[in-house]
Amino acid sequence: MMGNDIQMLHALNRLRQSIKAVHAIRNEINKGLAGIRRENLSQALTQKKHLKKLKESYERLTQETACLPPLDQASILEPEFDYITTIENILTTTQELKRGADIGAESREALQDGLVKFYDGLRAELLAAGTEKKAK
């Protein structure tokens, strides 16, 4: 093998490790959020520390994708960025509800309903993924 091939293999291995790290943190966040129900919405905020770790891992991942062509970089980074943005929005909304933001009862109820639907969907998704893994 040539030196460039070896460098590329090392770069791809680092990229694989970075992707694994990001997915491990995502799994932790998903597990934590899957237990959230209407009566304990503010417990979602316990995932802030995991979100911070995820953002740090994402930054490392952006550096590791430099060995790939731009479209391949985007195909890896975009879903991770979207996930981070979604979780950040969920936690920000939860924080504002907990602080008692002056948004009116109807808006508060609508936001709570939206959060509950998100968590219900996440639970269903994790359950389906767990069922799929057992079937294999």
Per-residue H/E/C for 26-86? HHHHHHHHHCCCHHHHHHHHHHHHHHHHHHHHHHHHHHHHHHCCHHHHHHHHHHHHHHHHH
Task: Supply the DSSP symbol for 25.
Answer: H
Section 103-114 average pLDDT: 92
| Alpha carbons 29 and 76: distance in angstroms, whole number | 19
| Residue 129, pLDDT score | 86
pTM attached to this predicted model = 0.89
Report the percentage of the chain scoring pLDDT > 90. Answer: 82
> Is residue 3 over pLDDT 80?
no
At residue 2, the 3 state secondary structure works out as coil
pLDDT band with cut points at 50, 70 and 90 for residue 102: confident
Q: What torsion, rounded to 10 degrees, do the Cα atoms 57, 58, 64, 65 define?
A: 160
Give the number of domains in the chain: 1
| Alpha carbons 91 and 53: distance in angstroms, whole number | 15
| Alpha carbons 108 and 19: distance in angstroms, whole number | 37
**Mean pLDDT over each residue of the chain, to the nearest integer:** 93
> Is residue 136 over pLDDT 80?
no
82 lies in which domain range?
Answer: 3-135
> Is residue 23 over pLDDT 80?
yes
| Residue 45, pLDDT score | 96
User: pLDDT tens digits for 51-90?
Assistant: 999 999 999 999 999 999 999 999 999 999 999 999 999 9
